[in-house]
Structure 1
Amino acid sequence: MYQIVNTINTVPFQDVKAQKLLKLNAKECLFISLEAGGVLKKHSSPTDAWLLVLEGQITFHINNNEYVLEKHQLFDFPKEEVHWVTAQSNAKFIVIR
C-alpha cells in the first residue's frame, strides 16, 4: 500500500526532537527538529554520515571547526568524531548514517 508521510511538515519547533524516519540495509535516516538557540549535545556517529538541512540555519561543530549550514545544503562527516549542532534559527534536518 502506498503512503504519504508528513512527519517533517508536522513536527513543531520545541526544544530538540529526533526520530528515526527509516532504516535501509544497516543505514538509518534520522529527522531532527531544533528550535532557535537550541543545542544538540556532543555525541559521535557509529558510521560515516551525511546531514541535509531542510529548513533554517545551523552551525555544525566538529574538530575545532564550525560550519554554518543552510536550507538544502548537504554536509558529510566521518564516524566516531565528536560533534554537536547549534540552531541559529528554527531548523529541521536529516542525518543519514
Structure 2
Amino acid sequence: MEIGSLLGGQYPLVEKKMQVLQEIVGAKIIYKSFETGDKMPSHSNPTDVFVIVQSGKMEIKLEGVANIFQTGDFIHFPGKALHELLCIENAKILIIK
C-alpha cells in the first residue's frame, strides 16, 4: 500500500520537480462522485487500485484498517485486497484500475 498527497496534506510527497506516482499498464480510469453518507461495501478487485481524491473527504478502509483521505490525497493498494469506503463530505474521486 502507498499513501500520499498531491497537495502536501496529511500524507506529503517527497519534494521533487517530477515524481512517477504509479505505472499501471492497461488500466481503466473511472470518475465517481459521492454524497455525504454514501458507502461502497467491502469488496476486492482482481487488479491493483489507485485512488485520487479530487475533492471532499472520505474514509477508506483497507483490510480492516481505516484512513481518512481528503482533497489531493491518494492511495494505491494491491489486487484482491478487501476495501470499503464511507463518504464523510461530498467527494469526487478518480479510480485507476
**TM-score normalised by structure 1 residue count:** 0.71
Percentage identity across paired residues of the two chains? 23
**TM-score normalised by structure 2 residue count:** 0.71
Is residue 58 of structure 1 aligned with residue 58 of structure 2? yes
1:17-70 deviation digits (Å, cap 9, x = unpaired): xxxxxxx95210111111001101221122111100001000001112001000
* Cα RMSD, aligned residues only: 1.4
Task: Give the structure, 1 or 2, with the largest relative contact order (CA under 8 Å, sep 6 or more).
Answer: 2
Higher share in helix: 1
Name the count of aligned residue pairs.
74
Is residue 89 of structure 1 aligned with residue 69 of structure 2? no
Structure 1: runs of 5+ lacking an equivalent: 1-23
Regions of 4+ moved over 3 Å: none
Task: Name the structure 1 match of 2:33.
Answer: 33
Distance, in Å, in 1 between the alignment partners of 2:91 and 2:64 is 22
Structure 2: runs of 5+ lacking an equivalent: 1-23
